[in-house]
A and B are shown apart, each in its own frame.
Chain A
Amino acid sequence: MNVSRDDFVIAIRSAFLKKQTKQKFSLLSLIILSIIILILSSFDYKVIKTVRSGINEVIYRGSFIISAPEKIIKNLNYEIRNHFGLYSNSKKLEEELDEYRSQKISLDILEFENQKLRQQLDDYLVSKEIVFSKIIIDNKSPFLRSLVINKGSRDGIKSGMAVLDQQYLVGKVIEVNFGTSRVLLLSDINSNIPITISPGNLLAIASGTGQDKAKVNFLKKTHFDKITNESLVYSSGTGGLIKSGVPIGRINDFDPKIDENIDIEFFSDFSQLQYVSVVAFDKVENNEFEKIDVQPSGIEKDILLDAPTLRKKLDLLLKEKEINDQITNKIKLENENLKSQLSNNQLEKINKQKIIEEQNKIIKSHNIDKDELNFLRLNLEYGEKCRKKTFSKKGFKVGTPEYKNCVLKKGMF
């Protein structure tokens, strides 16, 4: 027993303490060095941060070059898969685009209204600065979902800034170097973002799962029946880092009766990200709103016109006016059409009335002729009885209406 323990100790000592032949460093010294680095990196000293930042810069660039062939293969694979479904995708997208175009204008107006209301509540965050950046390293490790972008502190990037793919939230900045930064994706297990689920305005937290989706946390089960597969997920704005209403994803494959977990499918495909925008949100100053109400003059007017809020307001008002003009033109055109239709109808009616009148006249004259003929026929037969005779007082003078009536009466009996 003692012998085997001795062997073990000797083997361990030999493995860790002795410098191996043709090895420049002993294992123990390197282990101690790595522990020292590990401890130092956990401290937030400026010197360590600078050294770490320098190492990061060099390695990120190296990794970007080394990853280039892999990225080409990855993109090629994606392109081939995309190519096969191109036609059907294009058709579908065209239809969607048409729908979205029609929704866009009304959404702008709604957004403007929403902004106005939020401004009144003094809770509106606007994007203070936007930095567009390229992704240089895209790690799809199952343990850590993060990106490295080619913008750092020299470009104004700060830790905690939101990262967007077009309008969709994809993550936030967690590490800033001089020329590069690391972005923690929403799918990472360490990511927790306050969200709102709409409709229903349910507040919750979206936590990453390490896969291409997130799950909803801190939501009572009593609210589950308000959630459908069509429910949309937005940032809630709680905490003030990210403004509210930034779209994140939609609820996927959820049945409130069966499922315990609610999964969020992201709008953005994180595996296909090439460029992202890094945004810092800030509260709108109260002074800016006050300026809107005050009637400015001269130079102040020009300065105010440059204010982004006013410009946006003007843009939206112009758009609204454009829509109104379009509607008015449409109505005018419709009215003219109706008028022309009406006049045509009236003319037609008058013409037809004339025709009817003429036809009535003909019918009338035809009836008169018929009566006359009847009278003449009866006159031949009963004229003698109704005519006034020289020596009698009875009878009527020929040609008088009384004579005609008498003839007709006699004819009736």
Chain B
Amino acid sequence: MNYFEKSGVFKYILKLLPLIILFIAVLNEFDANYFGIPFLSFNLAFILIFFWTLKNIEHFGYGFIFLAGIINDVVTGTPLGLSSFLYMLICGATAYFRKITLRPNITKDWLFFLLTISCVNSIYYIISSYFFSVSIDYRYLLTNNLATFLIFFLFYIIFNIYYKKFFRKSDV
């Protein structure tokens, strides 16, 4: 442990952790449906991408997010490139939001997150249904959207603590 701390490997891994979680989430297609609660399903990838791109940390690059999107498409069986496109749109939204916000706070971020994922899910529905003829139950998409929005608050607090503890100004 001391060796790792001294050499900075441990800190580096801690900084990479959000990215590792993102890849695990997309490879695993993380879903809270194991508990058998019908409408408890949220999109962890959206939360991770929104939060960490908003913070604009060095270790959460667009290239990796793009790759995560490709992996997600393969795992879920959706048209290849669709998730990457949606993830990039989230990145664009956060970049825009970062530019226009002078004093960020949790409420603004939370509401902007709702707006972003609602737009992204709508685009997902339109592309899947009209261009690829893949039927999607929009009720599930709506409940997923709502659950992701509600749970974002919890993740925001956890990630914020993590961000303050392990990241410096130089990482941003």
Contact = CB atoms under 8 A, between A and B. Distances in A.
Contacts of B114: none
B84 interface: yes
Given A142-B144, A189-B135, A210-B137, A59 B28 contact: no
Contacts of A140: 31, 33-34
A42 interface: yes
Interface stretch (A31-39, A283-291, A296-304, A393-401): A31-39
Given A24-B61, A30-B66, A74 B34 contact: yes
Nearest to A7: B100
B77 A139 contact: yes
Contact of A41 (B38, B80, B100): B80
B46 to A, nearest CB: 13
B76 A42 contact: no
A11 B82 CA distance: 25
A100 interface: no
A66 B21 CA distance: 11
Given A37-B81, A141-B29, A23 B62 contact: yes
B96 A38 contact: no
A38 B77 contact: no
Interface string A41-76: 110000000001001100110110011001001100
A55 B74 contact: yes
Interface stretch (B2-10, B86-94, B151-159): B86-94
Contact of B58 (A22, A77, A141, A146): A22
Contact of A66 (B28, B33, B135, B141): B28
B75 A31 contact: no
Interface stretch (A13-21, A86-94, A233-241, A332-340): A13-21
Contacts of B29: 63, 139, 141
Contacts of A73: 34
Contacts of B89: 31
B41 to A, nearest CB: 5
B136 interface: yes
Contacts of A146: 76-77
A34 B81 contact: yes
B132 interface: yes
A151 interface: no
Interface string B41-70: 100000000000000101001110010011
B95 interface: yes
A27 B132 contact: no
B81 A59 contact: no
A143 B141 contact: yes
B71 interface: yes
Contacts of B62: 20, 23-27, 30
Interface size class of B (residues with CB under 8 A): 35 or more
B109 to A, nearest CB: 16
A314 interface: no
B63 A24 contact: yes
Interface in B106-137: 127, 131-132, 134-137
B78 A20 contact: no
Residue among B28, B74, B144 with the highest chain A CB neighbour number at 10 A: B74
Contacts of B132: 42
Nearest to A36: B81
Contacts of A139: 29, 75-77
Contacts of A56: 74
Nearest to B171: A22
Contacts of A23: 61-62
Contacts of B140: 142-143, 210
Nearest to B58: A22
B163 interface: no
Given A25-B61, A143-B136, A143-B137, A41 B79 contact: yes
Given A38-B81, A140-B31, 12 more contacts: A7-B100, A15-B95, A31-B89, A31-B92, A33-B66, A36-B81, A37-B80, A59-B71, A63-B75, A67-B28, A141-B41, A189-B135
24 contacts: A11-B96, A11-B99, A15-B98, A22-B58, A25-B61, A27-B88, A30-B62, A34-B69, A34-B82, A34-B84, A38-B82, A55-B74, A56-B74, A63-B75, A66-B27, A66-B28, A74-B34, A139-B75, A139-B76, A142-B33, A142-B41, A146-B76, A189-B136, A211-B38
Q: 5 closest pairs, A vs B, by CB?
A: A37-B81, A15-B95, A38-B81, A41-B80, A34-B84
